[in-house]
Amino acid sequence: MSSAPFERLNLSYFVAIEGIDGSGKGTQTAALHEYFQQSGLGTSSITFPRYGETLIGRQIGRFLDGQFGELQHLHPIPISMMYAAERFESRELIFEKLNGSELLISDRYVGSNFAHQGARLQGTERAEFLEWIQKLEYEVFGVPRPNLVVVLDLPAEISAERVAMKNARHYTEQVTDLHESDCDYLVGVREVYLELCEQNEAWQAVSCLTPSGEARSPEEIQNELRELITSRMNLQLDSKA
């Protein structure tokens, strides 16, 4: 790992790391934070949901634990409002981190609301819902838009295998939470993520598999993420270092 400082050529930059469960978002976010921080770039990170840190985050934990009912019985609108409200509750912290650093990396963000709730709708209804979420989060609640959204792309069946090997989460005593337990649902979530990558220049998919279908190492994925962010931020290694 290079420790040479970066020459920063533009203003504060906001990256959101997205992907279905088991794709390695937390691992890659932590590694990116460490790399850019050690490379001389003022870097911060944040993770959503903030389960035990916000009033609404605690209720999201209860939702994912199944305490509000089965997923198919809950309409996407009120669920998406809960996630959006939790980001609104965290808005001051988000801006604080953006103002205090040159790079902010978020493990999940608004994109998770698009994909996880949009996956439960189809066609025109989905398109209208995605537009509604965008207005709710960015205009009504006024949270900042990320400059870059990276989707760690992983097939749902592999996601299920990886989730089964995870340690227990503090918000649920079950092996899988409400989202993770339905493979067909995760297929839909991945579909929405990939659609958004095709439709938006600020969205970029990074595959967790090789072209032959084998798992890429976390280090290989990390190197691609570093190169992508460095390129998008227009960073270069300081020639004096």
What is the rounded CA–CA span in Å between residue 217 and residue 221?
6
Q: Give the CA count within 13 Å in the CB-facing half-sphere of 150.
A: 27
CA–CA distances in Å: residue 29 to residues 35, 62, 120, 160, 173: 10, 25, 27, 21, 25
What is the rounded CA–CA span in Å between residue 46 and residue 97?
9
In a domain, 97, yes or no: yes
In a domain, 210, yes or no: yes
The tens digit of pLDDT for each residue in 63-88 reads 888 888 887 788 999 999 999 999 99
Domain hosting 53: range is 9-235
Q: Report, as ranges of residue numbers, the positions in the chain whose pLDDT lies below 70.
A: 1-11, 162, 164-181, 236-241
Q: What is the predicted pLDDT for the residue at 91?
A: 96
In a domain, 150, yes or no: yes
Q: What is the predicted pLDDT for the residue at 175?
A: 43
Q: What is the predicted pLDDT for the residue at 161?
A: 78
CA dihedral of 64, 69, 73, 79, whole degrees rounded to 10: -40
CA–CA distances in Å: residue 35 to residues 2, 27, 67, 103, 182: 8, 12, 39, 12, 35
In a domain, 240, yes or no: no
167: amino acid identity, one letter: N
Q: What is the predicted pLDDT for the residue at 74?
A: 85
In a domain, 1, yes or no: no
Q: What is the predicted pLDDT for the residue at 172?
A: 53
Q: What is the predicted pLDDT for the residue at 240?
A: 32
Nearest to 226 by CA among 44, 35, 27, 97: 35
In a domain, 192, yes or no: yes
Q: Tell me how many domains the chain contains.
A: 1
Q: What is the predicted pLDDT for the residue at 181?
A: 52
In a domain, 162, yes or no: yes
CATH code (residue 86): 3.40.50.300
The SS3 of residue 113 is helix
In a domain, 4, yes or no: no
